[in-house]
């Protein structure tokens, strides 16, 4: 059996991250690490090392669904693994991310006021004001936190739902970060092959 490494426990970080968002919404910014690191590793390392070793969320689904047997463990539906669904979901997710950045810009420019709420599943507005003290930071910094935390919580809820229904890591088949890193790695490897063929 392989000896455990420090990064095998990153599922704990995932729990801590979501818990912190219940106390101070500004901690939501730390989620940008999970957003940027996979992309950086894919671009410069040409690998999915983040997915395979560093993703606390993937580990959490594996733990809950696998070890704790909370998953029905049914096969992930074919449509969920299909290219059209993965890329459509990525497009949808990035559109929502772009909308969240736009809302942040509106607040930064003074066109809109700070909304101390998060949106779950892109539709349900949940008041979340107790996690923020007005004036603690610039309103746009707080707006981004509310928006980003809502997005992170939404993807966690979807991931947990598919974990319960299908294989523990079914979320990984259409996770936007996984789709993006896979696309980057493919492009990088294709470029390497072309360069090798030309040299
Ligand atoms: S596909 Fe997404 S959730 Fe799964 S390991 Fe990769 S980044 Fe994490």
* Residue 192 resides in a domain: no
171, 173, 179, 183: residue to mutate for ligand 1 pocket, most atoms within 8 A of CB:
171
* Residue 1 resides in a domain: no
* Residue 195 resides in a domain: no
User: Structural domain tally of the chain?
Assistant: 1
* Residue 29 resides in a domain: yes
Q: According to DSSP H, which parts of 21-175 are helical? A: 31-45, 49, 56-62, 78-81, 83-108, 139-165, 171-174
Looking at the predicted structure, is the pLDDT value of residue 191 above 90?
Answer: no
Q: What is the pLDDT of residues 105-148, one digit of tens each?
A: 999 999 999 999 999 999 999 999 999 999 999 999 999 999 99
Is 184 in contact with 39 (CB distance < 8 Å)?
yes
pLDDT > 90: what percent of the chain? Answer: 92
10, 58, 62, 152: residue to mutate for ligand 1 pocket, most atoms within 8 A of CB:
58
Give the whole-angstrom CA distance, residue 20 versus residue 134: 18
Would the CA dihedral through 30, 34, 39, 42 be positive or negative?
Answer: positive
Give the single-character DSSP code of 115: -
Segment holding 193, helix H or strand E? helix 176-198
pLDDT at 28: 98
Enclosing domain of residue 34: 6-187
Determine which residue's CA is closest to atom 5 belonging to ligand 1.
51
**Ligand 1 neighbour 60 (Cβ under 6 A):** no
Q: According to DSSP H, which parts of 109-138 are helical? A: none
31, 172, 185: residue to mutate for ligand 1 pocket, most atoms within 8 A of CB:
172
Please tell me the pTM assigned to this model.
Answer: 0.94
pLDDT at 197: 83
Mean pLDDT, range 2-15, rounded to an integer: 95
* Residue 50 resides in a domain: yes
* Residue 193 resides in a domain: no
* Residue 197 resides in a domain: no
Looking at the predicted structure, is the pLDDT value of residue 189 above 90?
Answer: no
* Residue 15 resides in a domain: yes
* 55 CA: nearest ligand 1 atom: 8
Looking at the predicted structure, is the pLDDT value of residue 192 above 90?
Answer: no
Give the whole-angstrom CA distance, residue 98 versus residue 80: 24
**Ligand 1 neighbour 38 (Cβ under 6 A):** yes
Q: What is the mean pLDDT of the chain?
A: 96
């Amino acid at each position: 059996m392989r000896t455990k490494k420090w990064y095998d426990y990153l599922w704990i970080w995932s729990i801590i991250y979501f818990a912190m968002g219940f106390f101070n919404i500004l901690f939501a910014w730390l989620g940008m690490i999970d957003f940027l690191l996979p992309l950086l590793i894919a671009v410069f390392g040409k690998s999915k090392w983040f997915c395979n070793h560093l993703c606390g969320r993937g580990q959490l689904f594996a733990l809950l669904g696998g070890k704790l047997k909370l998953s029905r463990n049914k096969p992930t539906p074919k449509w969920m693994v299909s290219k059209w669904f993965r890329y459509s979901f990525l497009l949808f997710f990035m559109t929502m991310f772009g909308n969240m950045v736009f809302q942040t810009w509106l607040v930064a420019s003074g066109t809109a006021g700070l909304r101390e709420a998060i949106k779950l599943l892109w539709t349900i507005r949940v008041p979340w004001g107790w996690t923020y003290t007005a004036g603690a930071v610039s309103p746009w910094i707080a707006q981004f936190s509310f928006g980003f935390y809502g997005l992170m919580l939404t993807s966690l809820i979807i991931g947990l739902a598919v974990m319960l229904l299908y294989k523990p890591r079914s979320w990984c088949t259409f996770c936007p970060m996984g789709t993006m890193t896979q696309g980057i790695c493919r492009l990088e490897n294709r470029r390497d092959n072309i360069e090798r063929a030309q040299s």
